[in-house]
Amino acid sequence: MTQLCVFYQQESAAFGNELRLMRAEMITCAQNARALEAEVVRLRARLFQALGPPKFRCGHSTDRYNVYERKGKRYCRTCHRKHSAASSKRKAAAASAPIVDSCGDG
Ligand SMILES: [Zn+2]
């Protein structure tokens, strides 16, 4: 029974040391992650300075006032407004156009 207790204490001490080592590694990894996140923020700011603010392909800015999201995609609100106005204009022109009799009787 005594040998079993000694073995148990040795295993417990080894486990404690291993646990301490893993905690130290975890703390180091967390510090590295924070440093890398700071680096990402710094590089993103440099990229923003170099390229200017991000834009859509149409050239309009992608700030939060000009973006709407639908089904996981991001769309340009300015272009949507333009297309919508053009569509309304076409519909209004079609509705106000004189009705042409197309039966061919003259
Ligand atoms: Zn646009």
Which parts of the chain have pLDDT scores under 50? Answer: none
Task: Give the Å distance between the CA of 82 and the centre of ligand 1.
Answer: 9
Dist. CA 75 → ligand 1 center (Å): 8
What DSSP state is assigned to residue 69?
E
Give the separation between CA 58 and CA 50, rounded to whole angstroms.
20
Residue 106, domain member (yes or no): no
Task: Give me the long-range contacts of 24-32 (CB less than 8 A, separation at least 24).
Answer: none
The dihedrals phi and psi of 65, each to the nearest 5 degrees, come to -85, -15
Count of CB atoms within 10 A of residue 55's CB? 14
CA of 8 to the centre of ligand 1 (A): 70
pLDDT for the residue 98: 77
Q: Does one domain contain both 22 and 47?
A: yes
77 inside domain: yes
User: Same domain for 13 and 32?
Assistant: yes
Q: What is the pLDDT of residue 100?
A: 65
Q: What distance in angstroms lies between residue 77's CA and the mean position of ligand 1's atoms?
A: 7
pLDDT at 102: 65
What is this structure's pTM? Answer: 0.46
Residues paired with residue 68 on neighbouring β-strands, in sequence order? 75
Q: How many domains does the chain contain in total? A: 2
